[in-house]
Amino acid sequence: MSQATVTQDDPYFVDSPRRIGDIQAEMARQGIDVYLGSRLRTLSWTLDAFCPWRSYVVIPPQGLPTAITFVIDAARVEDDSWLDEDHVWGYGPMGGQDQISLLRDLILPHLPGGNGAVGIETGTATYLPEGNLTQYEYESLSEALPDARLVNAHDIIDRLSLIKDEGTINRFREASRIVDVGHQAVREAIQGGGFRGMTETEIGGLAAYAMRKAGSEWEWSFTGGNEIASGYRTGLAAGACTPASRRELRPGEPLMVDLHAMFKLGLGDHAHNYLLGPATPRQHWHAQNFVDLVDLCLKTYRAGISPTSLADEMLDFCEERGFAEYMVPGFEHGIGMMGDEWRIGLNDGPFPYWTNPDHVYQAGEMVICAMQYACPEEEIGFRYENPILIDQDGCEAMSKYPLGIEEI
Amino acid sequence: MGNFKYLSPEWAQEATRRLQEDLTPEKMKHLTSSMTTIYTNCPDGLERTVYYRLEEGVVQEVSLHLEDAPQAEFTIKGDYETFAQISRAELKARAALMSGKLTLKGNLVKALRLAPVVDRLNEVLATIPTDF
């Protein structure tokens, strides 16, 4: 009856016990007695379950971790995860059952004499639901564990989750296949003038329906699910976040369709663009610029390059072709299992909690190849996103939807 | 017959008898579990623990402990007077937990599922003529 993926011959299997063992080995190396994970990315990666409510995972030096989530969702998290009932606890507003009491109960037995180091997750993020420990939680835990040291240790998870395993990669492949189904549904709905009278929200909804039918769990992005923009909204300056609005699609305008699907915490994220006919030669010029750039970018990604070297090469191309001023100067964002979005790699760049521009990509890493073209004065813009798996000689683009900006 | 002194060996014996008589395995959902209730600030200043053990819905044991109580799946701890108020039906157990007057140790998900069963057990205990 469980929804967990626990058999090794399942193409989507991830070896969660091994992940925990790897974390515990690193804890021992760093002198951390207990690890307290609270970030959404950590919960997804360790529990293999989606935790939409404030949740924690307590990882002892040996043995199984225990998850703590809001009691109304604990049974479902247990059903989805690889852990049993005794290792998924619910918290609630009840004596001894509040979050801090449960954390203390789980952590204290692993601190010799109450002393020792508790690895916690703190910092900042561009991503709102990152899940770092709050000040209240930090202070309450310090009070509940007066002799313990709380040590920021999220690097352990960040390092271990950087290179993707086969099961995770297959989940991303499937999520991308589902996104392509969504794009096909949008294409069929808007062709032959079908877009007339439709709104952005309607486009987002019909794509969602098609993707759900194909097995997507939800349109995962916190940016409003499926991001749809039309007309001037496609060209908002430096804009790369467009929750669908009630705006009606109009002939002669661009349409940006950025779809999100989730399959077993693997994420599909692909943006495709249209020109709703009739399109002008100038619009086609913009579109061709963008398509050529995306094509070049996909051909450039490989192990050994960095965000900076890639950006330099891409922006040189934009300059050469005369559209550099329309490009947002970034060509990627990080990606991992649900909750792992935006920053790439480790927190080792010049600006804390931003991608290190000199991060050197390795084979087995995944990023979203992401580009945004915006020309506000002409009310036109395009977006491309596609999860890619980096290898030694190139990359695998997970969405197979044909690259192009067609007039429809 | 006089009243039983709350938390006395006689009270525990009577509790066992009534629980075994009044609660069928069906009523107790064939539950196998254990629970301790820890009474702090008893009138004599001591702390007491009552240990309940159920097997297949049958109450097998109700025992009193001044120290070294057996480990149980669930532990409810609170002031003697709070438990007394619950036994006199002046306070609901749920309200005592929600207000923090009682604390629960153990898996809350399981505990919520078992709450009606524990309520049935408390209802029987409340029928014991007791001097607090």
Burial class (CB in 10 A: 0-12, 13-18, 19+), B124: middle
Q: Where are the domains of chain A?
A: 16-160, 166-407
Q: Is B109's CB within 8 Å of A89's CB? A: yes
Query: Over the stretch B67-125, which tens digit does the pLDDT of each residue have?
Result: 889 999 999 999 999 999 988 878 888 889 989 999 999 999 989 888 888 888 888 99
Is 0.90 surpassed by the pTM of this model?
A: yes
Closest CA to A292 of A386, A407, A405: A405
Class of domain A166-407 (CATH, top level): alpha beta
Give chain A positions within 8 Å (CB) of B101.
95
Q: How many beta-carbon pairs below 8 A join chains A and B?
A: 47
State the complex-level ipTM: 0.84
CATH 3.40.50.10860 fits B4-124, yes or no: no
What pLDDT sits at residue B89?
79
Interface contact A75, partner B, CB < 8 A: yes
Contacts (Cβ under 8 Å, ≥6 apart) of B5: B11, B130, B131
DSSP E strands: which ranges in A227-365? 227-230, 254-263, 266-275, 332-335, 341-342
Question: With contacts defined as CB-CB under 8 Å, which chain A residues touch B97?
Answer: 94-95, 97
Q: What's the mean per-residue pLDDT of chain B?
A: 92
Determine whether the interchain pair A95/B97 forms a contact, defined as Cβ–Cβ distance below 8 Å.
yes
CATH ID of A16-160, from 3.30.460.80, 3.40.350.10, 3.30.70.270, 3.40.50.300:
3.40.350.10
pLDDT in tens, chain A (408 residues): 688 888 889 999 999 999 999 999 999 999 999 999 999 999 999 999 999 999 999 999 999 999 999 999 999 999 999 999 999 999 999 999 999 999 999 999 999 899 999 999 999 999 999 999 999 999 999 999 999 999 999 999 999 999 999 999 999 999 999 999 999 999 999 999 999 999 999 999 999 999 999 999 999 999 999 999 999 999 999 889 999 999 999 999 999 999 999 999 999 999 999 999 999 999 999 999 999 999 999 999 999 999 999 999 999 999 999 999 999 999 999 999 999 998 998 999 999 999 999 999 999 999 999 999 999 999 999 999 999 999 999 999 999 999 999 999
Widest distance between CA atoms in chain A? 75
CA–CA distance, B84 with A240 (Å, rounded to integer): 62
Tens digits of residue pLDDT in A207-237? 999 999 999 999 999 999 999 999 999 999 9
Q: Given an 8 Å threshold on Cβ–Cβ distance, is B102 in contact with A105?
A: no
Strands A394-397 and A148-152: unpaired
Task: Please state, in angstroms and as integers, the Cα–Cα distance from residue A161 to each residue in A41, A80, B44, following that order.
Answer: 9, 20, 57
Euclidean distance between CA atoms B111 and A357, whole angstroms: 50
Tokens coding B59: 């109450």
